Structure 1
């Protein structure tokens, strides 16, 4: 779950942008379709639509059917499309700004909006969450952004005649009972009657939005959001932002701090920050001359070291600042990286060594015999290395350069 939170958090803004854009487009399409007579066509964002139906027939304010003129697709209800876009946007905004559960979101009513007057006289808006999973009520201070979202929801659900939120009965899928009539915020008209939006509707719309937005992981795997993902992201962002974890537990309605800790994803930057602090502390105890600007002589030595790496048979890869420990016997040195182009030179050295070995055998220079035989063994190793590098270069699908 923590890995999932780390994956989804960076793309949350992409999902929010997609929801806002969908709400904007569906609103423009709905307005244009209402302004168009049945059978007429209109264009929005370079897409041509056709309003279906016949002149003189009014399906009512709950339905305006249109099709995409350039495609032979089914017709759809522009009113329902805009309504779904609005409630999906509202659900995302409330979920990500409060961390409430999906059941708690859909149980919000007009009575859930409260105000608290602080001792300084400041009015603080509050969101009262009804008892749900832990059977314990809690109150969440509402940010200005959340207040703006809730105000927009209220404007949408209030009736034009009385200016009140209609009372709706909600069916509880967990308790399997119908609740009392309440002014639920997440209510909409469906099949000619008002009803509270169900959790499966929110989940299905979230999946469709993520798919239409083209949200994928770094390996190309499609990403999807669930309502509970916003709760985990909310917990992670608040705690990593400096909010004490016991306060975050109160906001989330957790009875155990370990539960809240399980919701919080530890990001690599936390480890990097603490490790860099550790390095800074270690550096503070080191001599100051180690961190001074290098002199011209030191820069020249550094440059000359790399120019001295080039030898007849290839490149010497010994670490910077270290002397040659093999008295420049490059054939025997494991730090020599052979240049495949120098393979003929290596064969010539092998031929000369074999001639010297014959002479040493003839003269009974047994020490020289042993040294030359060891040299031939290293030459054979270097030949295999050069041939392997040359084979990599010659392969059609292999690397064209070797660093």
Structure 2
């Protein structure tokens, strides 16, 4: 993250403000690009938007609920480890001494009303008081960051929140579950699966959140909340069962087949299990041995393929280090979002 340097030795600047700007610029960009959320959806995220699903394998899958709007449907996004780590840092930063995220009313510029007091994730001190970050401030942060980074293409480039939605769509790093299936998973999203929140927040807050989501759902087509067919439900359960592979878990979007012919080493969707690092190193040693033989025999096509596999293994080893660091900071798994 780029921070404006002091122009001259001895020049004073507000280090706390610069650090806050840097953190929230990073947090906004990371959540936007890893969820594909619109700016309004981003700023409506609350601590109650975080859910979990126990897959048939027994794995607890962190989920992020994107509330419905008049222009876009409700969806639930399985949160990959990097998104979980970002959300965990945000929660740790804004939590009060009582373990709760402060309750704030957010002004909706489209509906021109203040919402109920909720534990919004994107809140910070501004103008000497705690408030939810505004859409305009998000745009300003992105513009300031691009200027500081001096990103140019003939002229200086600017980024909008929607640009990150396009990046998300292009990379397809995660997929949103169809809401009629997500509703089945989460007991129609009525917080029955997250009653642990009642121990943290007053029951009135839970009721406000339910009412907020119910109002939004009333503007959406009822077809989005239909019961899934038996075949759809079976496909959903099979998808999570088939995600488990030797080296970890496949993070491909729901409802999509494996596009890499199960060559998991080369697949960017593989999420490594730290316990399987020795297996990864064993595979690397085997490939290096095969590479030596291919080079001696002048099997040039085989050499090229094995070198490509080694490049992907190097990427996976970096992923292991990143996941280990997140584990050490307690930023991994469902527990990090509590």
**TM-score of the pair, normalised by structure 1:** 0.42
The structure, 1 or 2, with the larger RCO (C-alpha pairs under 8 Å, 6+ apart) is 2
**TM-score of the pair, normalised by structure 2:** 0.49
Radius of gyration: which is bigger?
1
